[in-house]
Structure 1
């Protein structure tokens, strides 16, 4: 049976790449029936096409992937199954998205064939995670990650500031961050200044320690 899929991501280039990968790796298994670039277009497209699985980015304009799932949960009919596909492998993103209703979470390093397999498994009702991410979920429900504390700190940052913060803390240069997020170097600098100010930190070194202590890397 062909699995109907909607791809939701705010980068058009990435959506086109995912669509091409899925069509090349599993055209007999997966059918792309629509796309969304933010919360509102995602909800409208999903409601109109009734997919089996939604490939959902975590950080979206309008409230993020969790907001897409929340809005669809209030609508009539059975919602699709959600598989998060994100550049982020931070604990709070993984745990928050699963708590929001996703059946799985994989990172954008996944291959086309692996993604087809993950989609098929989620459509069948399985829970699917990239290997490292499954540990975050287990740790959270075992109580060894204080998600409330993480959320309180991160609530000060916008979605884009969180993305910049994570990459900078991992050692990316401003140029590399700009390329990864499809923004200018000047915009990266602006976001970085805002991150340091909001978190009351003074340097990249302090930011890396802050993120490491909270298991955000």
Structure 2
């Protein structure tokens, strides 16, 4: 079946590679390289599927999470397939929680990606084989549906979640700032908000909290 898609990735060579690897019946109606242009392209073209890179520049620093948040409730019939080099559990779970319908890694073949696009367009949940277990473990659901949300995690913004995960992994404030391209002061502000919202007192309690939920 013919499917319309928008490809979102900040690397030109990746977008070209994805476009050329898709089957002829998959119609690429738009492309974008950052959060802002992704939202604009999707709202303009209303594709059936968005092939969305997880780590994008722009927005509030949440990458794909910002795109999903900005599009929530604004488009009907458009489903998101996350495409990433990352197969980390926290990336998979956070993107699916935010509303993506599938998650595949960039090691996927063109034929497999085309099949994933069609399946997502038809309403299926699609994951690279080793990633499905992360989703089932996190959500305890069948068929790729989210059984229940973590109310505490949902209190955090996309940026706060990103900072929280890095801090919980043991990164210093300086290292977090370098990875996210923000100042140490901004990192401190985010951490303070995270601790307040989660009613925790220090980063050690935060690491324990995150480990219990298997999101680090």
The TM-score, its normalising length taken from structure 2, stands at 0.68
Mapping 1:16-27, distance limit 5 Å: 16-17=10-11, 19-24=12-17, 27=20
User: What residue in structure 1 maps to residue 32 of structure 2?
Assistant: 35
User: What residue in structure 1 maps to residue 59 of structure 2?
Assistant: none
Mapping 1:142-161, distance limit 5 Å: 142=141, 147-148=148-149, 150=150, 152-161=151-160
Q: Distance in 2 between matches of 1:171 and 1:115?
A: 35
Q: Distance in 1 between matches of 2:45 and 2:166?
A: 35
Q: In terms of mean alpha carbon deviation, does 188-197 or 24-33 score higher?
A: 24-33
User: What residue in structure 2 maps to residue 119 of structure 1?
Assistant: 113
Q: Distance in 1 between matches of 2:34 and 2:112?
A: 22
The TM-score, its normalising length taken from structure 1, stands at 0.67
2:103 aligned counterpart, secondary structure: strand
Cα RMSD after superposing both structures: 3.8
Q: Distance in 1 between matches of 2:180 and 2:203?
A: 19
Q: Distance in 1 between matches of 2:73 and 2:115?
A: 23
Q: Do 2:6 and 2:51's aligned partners in 1 also have CA atoms closer than 8 Å?
A: yes
Deviation at 1:27, TM superposition (A): 2.6
User: What residue in structure 2 maps to residue 53 of structure 1?
Assistant: 49
Kindly tell me: are residues 6 and 202 of structure 1, through their superposed partners in 2, closer, same or farther at Cα, counting changes over 3 Å?
same
Deviation at 1:165, TM superposition (A): 0.1
Kindly tell me: are residues 177 and 114 of structure 1, through their superposed partners in 2, closer, same or farther at Cα, counting changes over 3 Å?
farther
Deviation at 1:28, TM superposition (A): 4.7
User: What residue in structure 2 maps to residue 11 of structure 1?
Assistant: none
2:6 aligned counterpart, secondary structure: strand
Deviation at 1:160, TM superposition (A): 0.8
Which sections of structure 1, spanning at least 5 residues, go unmatched?
A: 9-14, 74-78
Q: Do 1:5 and 1:53's aligned partners in 2 also have CA atoms closer than 8 Å?
A: yes
Q: Distance in 2 between matches of 1:103 and 1:172?
A: 30
Deviation at 1:93, TM superposition (A): 2.0
Q: How many corresponding residue pairs?
A: 194
Deviation at 1:156, TM superposition (A): 2.8
Deviation at 1:23, TM superposition (A): 1.8
| 2:196 counterpart of 1:197 | yes
